[in-house]
Amino acid sequence: MAQKNENLILVPTLLITLTILSVGVWWLWQNVDDNEQYTENTDDSSLRAPNTLGEVSNVPSGSFSYFGNPAWGSIQEGIDPIIREIHPQFQIRYSTFLSQTSEQESEIVEQLKNNQIAFSQVSSPLTNEQGATTIEVDGNSLEQIPIALNVIAIAVNRNLDISGLSLEQLQGIYTGEIRNWEEVGGPNLEIIPYSDPEEEKLTVRFFLEDVLDEENLSPEVETVENPTVALRKVSENEGAIYYGKALQILRNCDIKPLPLENQENELVAPYQGSLVSPEECRETGAAHQINRDAFQNGDYPLTRPWFIVFNKNGRHNERAGRTYAKLLLTQQGQHLLRNQGLISIR
């Protein structure tokens, strides 16, 4: 009788123990330790982009902090919530840095090395070596994967007789040193420069850094509330000029996108082929086609590739960074980036 009672007690105890062990194994599987080694197949077949965010497999579980520049703040608001909705186990948290200075790059590298952040979005490569995808820093391998292009185009009035500008001339116009189109080979006509508000970091920050060399805009530059207003003003004023997101300018039928001079002193247009007439643009809907080759090879001067960078150390954070890049490189991810004003690379 005592033996029977002992068996009755042992059976439920064993079941409870097995249940606890199973739950523990499941929890550990869902929450992989950061020290776990991770191996990624990086041959060409693994880089073929799925169509949708939901088709990306092996998305890690956990909470992952990452850095991004200020312009990425508004962009990720239209992307990260969608990723979290489709992959709720992948909890990504964005924090901004002020600008991508050399000091800031050192901090990004340091935090990646120490696993303080899982990955980072950067708006220029962390190395000057053309086409490099892996950077060796103090015994650490950092991998940077391009995910999109930030491109600025210049819009002028359709009737303005000018073939193009150099970046130095563009700088002179927006710092107030050049005030008449005649000074840059155009007609004797006052220049009316327009700019987005400072909150539009995708274009303004880029323009201040790459064109003005951190100088301030001239007080003569008129700030407009949004690109639609700016492009309307350009179409109405023959002396007007505006810089903005390439996609918005190239899709507009009423203005002229202006070629810019590259380092070889060649004028490169942001569009393919010849200028599309307003009539053809409206009748057929055939707006200017982006000059993707010139953007991707850097021939067009106002182009910035954007990257996701992570520590290639075989740990959980590498998996998070690589997964985030994969999600952005799906057809759906590229579409979301285009909606935010960036040029897709796929």
44-149+304-339: CATH superfamily: Periplasmic binding protein-like II (3.40.190.10)
In tens digits, the chain (346 residues) has pLDDT values of 444 444 444 444 544 444 444 444 333 333 444 444 444 544 433 456 689 999 999 999 999 999 988 888 889 999 999 999 999 999 999 988 655 555 567 788 888 988 899 999 988 777 655 555 888 877 788 999 999 999 999 999 999 999 999 999 999 999 999 999 999 999 999 999 999 998 777 789 889 989 999 899 999 999 999 999 999 999 999 999 999 999 999 999 999 999 999 999 999 999 999 888 888 888 877 788 999 999 999 999 999 999 999 999 888 999 999 999 999 999 999 999 999 889 999 8
Helix axes 316-328, 331-339, angle to 10 degrees: 70
Q: Which two tokens stand for residue 2?
A: 């005592």
Comparing CA positions, the residue from 334, 338, 261 lying closest to residue 300 is: 261
Cβ atoms of 222 and 194 within 8 Å: the answer is yes
Separate counts of helices (H) and strands (E) for the chain? 12, 12
Residues of the chain with CATH 3.40.190.10: 44-149+304-339, 150-296
* Euclidean distance between CA atoms 249 and 272, whole angstroms: 14
Comparing CA positions, the residue from 171, 263, 288 lying closest to residue 218 is: 171
Question: Which CATH code for domain 150-296?
Answer: 3.40.190.10
pTM for this predicted structure: 0.79
